[in-house]
Structure 1
Amino acid sequence: MSARAGSFSFDRKDLSRFLFDLYDYEPKLLRKLISARPYVCPFEDIERHIPEDAKVLDVGCGNGALLAILLASGRVKVAVGCDVHEGALASARMAAERTGNAGHVSFLKIRGFEELPADSFDVVTMVDVLHHVPEGDRVKAVEEAIKRVAAGGIFLFKDMVEAPFWRRLAHNVDDLIFSGEWVRQVKTAKVEAQVKAAGFELFESLEIPRIFYGNTLRVFRRL
Structure 2
Amino acid sequence: MHSNIKRKIGRHLHTEMLAPASASIPSVDSAATPAQLRRFFYAAYCDTPAPFRWLSAIRPYVCPYDKLVPFIRDDAEVLDVGCGAGSLLTLLAAMKKIRRGVGCDVMAPPLESARAAAQRVGAQGILTFEHVRSVAEAPEGPFDVVAMVDVLHHVPPGSRSDVFAAAAQRVKPGGIFLYKDMTARPGGRRLAHNIDDYIFTREWVEQVPEGAVETWAGDHRLALVHGEFIPRLIYGHELRVFQRLEH
TM-score (norm 1): 0.95
**CA RMSD of the aligned region, Å?**
1.5
Matched residue, 2:177: 155
Q: Which amino acid aligns with 1:168?
A: R
The answer to whether the Cα contact below 8 Å between 1:53 and 1:77 also exists between their aligned partners in 2 is yes
Q: Distance in 2 between the 1:207 and 1:32 partners? A: 26
Match status 1:118 vs 2:140: yes
Task: Output the CA distance in 2 between the equivalents of 1:165 and 1:101.
Answer: 40
Partner-residue secondary structure (3-state), 1:181 = coil
Q: Secondary structure at the match of 1:122?
A: strand
Are residues 1:190 and 2:212 paired?
yes
2:240 maps to amino acid: R
Separation in 2 of the partners of 1:190 and 1:217? Answer: 13
Contact kept? 2:48, 2:117, Cα under 8 Å? no
Match of 1:8 among 28, 33, 56: 28
- CA radius of gyration, larger in: 2
Q: Which amino acid aligns with 2:92?
A: L
Counterparts in 2 of 1:211 and 1:221: CA distance versus 1, 3 Å: same
Q: Which runs of 5+ in 1 are unaligned?
A: none
Q: Is the 2:45–2:120 Cα contact (8 Å) retained in structure 1? A: no
User: 1:2 Cα shift?
Assistant: 5.8
Give 4+ residue runs of structure 1 displaced > 6 Å after superposition: none
d(CA) in 2 for partners of 1:131, 1:144: 16
Share of identical aligned residues, percent? 47
- Per the TM alignment, residue 8 of structure 1 is displaced from its structure 2 partner at its CA by 1.9
Report deviation, 1:102: 1.3
Tell me the equivalent position of 1:18.
40
The TM-score, its normalising length taken from structure 2, stands at 0.86
Matched length: 221
**Structure 2 portions without partners, runs of 5+:** 1-22
Distance in 1, Cα, partners of 2:167 & 2:219: 14
Q: Is the 8 A contact 1:2 1:8 kept in 2?
A: no
Establish whether residue 140 from structure 1 lines up as the match of residue 172 from structure 2: no
User: For residue 201 of structure 1, what is the aligned residue in structure 2?
Assistant: 223
**In structure 1, how many angstroms separate the alpha carbons of the residues matched to 2:175 and 2:132?**
23
